[in-house]
Structure 1
Amino acid sequence: MIIDLRSDTVTKPTKGMLDAMMSAEVGDDVYKEDSSVNLLEKRLAEMFGMDEALFFPTGSMANQAALKLHTNPGEQVICDKYAHIYNYEGGGASFNSGISCKLIDGHRGMFTSAQAEEAINPPDFYHSPLTSLIEVENTTNKGGGACWDFEELKKIRQVADKHKLGYHLDGARLWNAMVFKKENPKQYGELFDTISVCLSKGLGCPVGSVLLGKKELMKGALRVRKILGGGMRQVGYLAAAGIYALDHHIERLSEDHKKAREIGEVLSQLPFIKKVEPIETNIIIFELNNNISETDFLNRLKEKNIHIIGMGSNKLRMVTHLDYTDNMHEELLKTLKKI
């Protein structure tokens, strides 16, 4: 039995999802003639109360398209120092849009409205980049699956409106946040100008993210997707997986959250663990004591067919997911207690 907790992207489609994919109606999506893609986009736009939605092969591409739609070259996006758009998208903000990132030193990937307002460059000071966008990520990946306080998100919206800035949400794991906080999609659709949601993380799809937004912004999204190489043909087979996931895989995310908390409880009792970050959703970040080798610890787990991620500086990460079974969970907890 191999226990893979490196990410929630390692899942395989379930039998029900495969059946849905194999029976999908498809067409040429570049011509917007794929009925399954059109249905997925329509469902998500209605779910979030947004004007339009567009299917992308990856979350990074969806985020990069959003940055492009909100900005012009030479401008600047405000985001947390842990933000995915800054740390894990290959420098795409500068490469694709010619913009820079103004990093906020937040807490676990989250910042306050006051910090956001302080980070805005004076628009009449032509020596600095023109601030045009505020970006947040919910849940925060590098912040250990932390969920934003919705009231703080509303305050940041007020800051964006006051300074005439765009407001984008990287919602790669937004499904986890909404399940944990008992929130609904329309709350987020009312708040943000654009939102990217991922189907291939917590929802267990093999591929796919969707960018949602207001009509005025989204009118250029199809062109930007084409420029980035994201135009696909009979992609309805993948969209059908997304439709199936929306019907079957959202509520079950609470199971992943429960297992993550139980892992955290065991880790916090082990003498060689220095710290376990607070656990809200499906990500567990913990730190080994200084005298323990991160590499040795990872290798010890690999010998037991357990695979997790090393983040450097003795920090490690586990992510629970759809394919992490009850049997695997029992085996992992038993193994951790014996190390």
Structure 2
Amino acid sequence: MSNSDNWIDLRSDTVTQPSDTMRAVMAAAPVGDDVYADDPTVNRLQDYAADLFGFEAGLFAPSGTQTNLIALMSHCGRGDEYLVGQEAHTYKYEGGGAAVLGSIQPQPIANQPDGSIALADIEGYIKADDIHFARTRLLALENTIGGRVLPQEYVKAATALAHARGLNTHLDGARICNAAVKQGISLRQAVAGFDSVSVCLSKGLGAPVGSVLLGSKALIEQGKRWRKMLGGGMRQAGIIAAAGLYALEHNVQRLAEDHDNAARLSRGLADIDGLTVTAPQTNIFYVDMPAAACEPLRAFLAGQRIRASVGPHTRLVTHLDVNADDVERTIAAFKAFFKDWRA
């Protein structure tokens, strides 16, 4: 499906529009007051997601930034520390919330080219039990990270190492469904080894808002208190929970289409002189181009009704509102621009 105004939007998979069927499900959703835990649609979403991913309980919140922060604050106390990749969303792109609101110290570690954190680095950054150091409590990983899928062998080894050293484990699974579909494994297999996972519903899955935090019943009960304190206690939230439930029930396996479209788009752009294109693993890939081309290309694409965050290292993202025809139209637009552009 393309946007009704015929724009192609490649900035992110967060720009998806709810389908007519999803809108109908939202409009018909039975609701209640979720702060009292009596919204039946929210409860159904939380239970369904927990079962789908193999956890005891779930907690619906407005955003993945909030579910990640709830998880960090539930696993760690004031003065504790979590280990995290320097490229990770929880460290780099969430406003420093863990430190500012949770008094939790991040220990950023360099990511490897495949998005992982070297096991030796994880081991080396765990602090000794010493009053001079923050207490290392948690390992936080992200899958996918920059469109890269963490190998299952690595995930198993990293989470086992963390647990052996007395750490809990959290997964920022904003695009965990993409990772599972790419690897041809179940969602339960994809999150095995983690004590909690944040699952975003408003990216490639196509819901307009919301994420679900999954974990043990004890962690989720603690998370409810943090959600309320962080301003995320909602009332008749079943209207938006219904969209997330529909997304999990219908839009997981179709992510393979987004992966195919990203691959097709990357191949087409790779044929253009002056562009360096990374082959995508899922629905995200990057295009390097001369800085001088960026501003005129951005304007040219806008004239073709194509939105992209153009820069020297451009990220392009496919999603359910980008179809095969949109891919061909985008390739043609890039080719038309670079055919005449000169530095």
Q: Could you state the TM-score of these two structures normalised by the residue count of structure 1?
A: 0.94
Please name the residue that 1:25 is paired with: 30
- Which residue of structure 2 aligns with residue 199 of structure 1? 201
Which position in structure 2 is the counterpart of 1:278? 279
In the superposition, relative to structure 1, how do residues 191 and 20 fare at CA in structure 2: closer, same or farther (>3 Å)? Answer: same
Q: Which residue of 1 aligns with 2:290?
A: 289
Q: 1:72 aligns with which of 77, 87, 91?
A: 77
Shift in CA distance, 284/188, structure 1 to aligned 2, threshold 3 Å: closer
**Hey, what does 2:321 align to over in structure 1?**
323
Runs of 5+ consecutive residues of structure 1 not aligned to the other structure: none
SS at 1:191 equivalent: coil
1:119 to 103, 117, 125: 125
Structure 2 vs 1, CA of residues 332 and 40 (structure 1 numbering), >3 Å: closer, same or farther? Answer: same
Contact 2:176 2:190 in 1 (8 A): no
Amino acid at match of 2:59: L
Is the 8 Å Cα contact of residues 264 and 327 (structure 2) preserved in structure 1? no
Is 1:185 matched with 2:177?
no
Instruction: Tell me the SS of whatever aligns to 1:37.
Output: helix
**What residue is the counterpart of 2:335 in the other structure?**
337
Looking at structure 2, the residues matched to 219 and 26 of structure 1 have their Cα atoms a distance apart, in angstroms, of 21
Task: Find the residue that maps to 1:82 and give its secondary structure.
Answer: coil
Which residues of 2 match residues 1-339 of structure 1 at below 5 A? 1-108=6-113, 109-124=115-130, 126-140=131-145, 143=146, 145-273=147-275, 275-289=276-290, 292-310=292-310, 314-339=312-337
Aligned-pair distance for 1:218? 2.1
Contact 1:50/1:189 (8 A) holds in 2: no
1:15 is matched by which residue type in structure 2? D
CA distance in 2, matches of 1:270, 1:31: 57
Kindly report the root-mean-square deviation, in angstroms, between the aligned alpha carbons of the 2 structures: 1.4
Q: How does the TM-score come out when normalised to structure 2? A: 0.93
Q: Deviations over 1:16-68 (max 9, x none)?
A: 10111111111111100000010111111111111110000100000000010
Identity of aligned residues (%): 41
Q: What is the total number of aligned residue pairs between the two structures?
A: 331
For the residue of structure 1 that corresponds to 2:14, the secondary structure is: coil
Secondary structure at 2:137's aligned position in 1? strand
Tell which deviates more after alignment, 71-80 or 232-241.
71-80
**Bigger shift: residues 146-155 or 70-79:** 70-79
The SS at the match of 1:196 is strand
| Deviation sequence 1:57-105 (CA, Å, 0-9, x none) | 1000000000100111222111111100111111111111112221111
1:251 maps to amino acid: Q
Amino acid at match of 1:68: M
